[in-house]
Amino acid sequence: MVKGFVSLVGAGPGDPELLTLKAVRCLAEADVVLFDDLAAGPMLAHARAGAELIAVGKRAGRASPKQGEIDRLLVDHALSGKRVVRLKSGDPGIFGRLEEEMLALKAAGISFEIVPGVSTASAAAAAAGLPLTRRSEARRVQFVTGHDVTGALPADRNMAALADAAATTVVFMPKRTFPALVEALVAAGLSPETPALMAEHVGCPDQRLTRSTVGALAAQLAEGVSDKAALILYGPLMEDL
């Protein structure tokens, strides 16, 4: 039996112009494309005619494919000899459950490659016209997740790191837990006036950037959240230059 090949591809934040050349080539050569909700739309126009397109996106509060089902689809299609692209939003190695898919492929003896993509964090800062680092003021960038597997704020937080006023912190999937996180941050010494940026649907036509402070943003989100995918950046650089 001739086994296929899997490309685990980062689609970037949503703007098809931010796809890498390698991502475009992988799509053009694929027999099957398994894609996330945020890695769909115009990006799929690069898939070759006749390729099978399978939506496997996971969104909070909606019925979504389980990770085990996605792993099984990757393995089954590759075992049938097909070239498979797993198109993942942002960069696949940043809160994209990349490792679980890699392990499933390794266990099945299937060859694969990882094609990095533009991280949503970088794209959000660029859209706002801001850097993520500054030599004298923000020498460190940290990426954290806003929730654990249960949807709750992770219990094993490093509050000293998260409350570091000299770092740029990027919180992925933050909306529902950000008020609780900010309460803990302020208790750990972070000023509620720390500049913050909420970036929703980065790279998409309905992109929205909200400049605020961690305290004001937490109060806003405590009143209710939309279903737009978002991330929140906070730290000394999240103000207009």
Encoded tokens for 24: 């475009």
If we measure between CA atoms, which residue out of 236, 189, 182 comes closest to residue 214?
182
Q: Is 31 a catalytic residue?
A: no
| Catalytic option among 36, 71, 91, 164 | 36
Strand segments, DSSP code E, in the chain are 5-10, 32-35, 52-55, 83-88, 111-115, 140-145, 167-172, 195-200, 208-213, 230-234
Residue 61 CB-density burial (10 A; 0-12 exposed, 13-18 middle, 19+ buried) = exposed
| Catalytic option among 22, 58, 82, 228 | 58
Pairing outcome for strands 208-213 and 140-145: unpaired
Q: Residue 44, SS3?
A: helix
What is residue 115's DSSP assignment? E
What does the alpha-carbon distance between residue 200 and residue 94 come to, in Å, rounded to a whole number?
Answer: 17
Encoded tokens for 208: 């929205």
What does the alpha-carbon distance between residue 72 and residue 89 come to, in Å, rounded to a whole number?
Answer: 20
Which sequence positions are flagged as catalytic? Answer: 36, 58
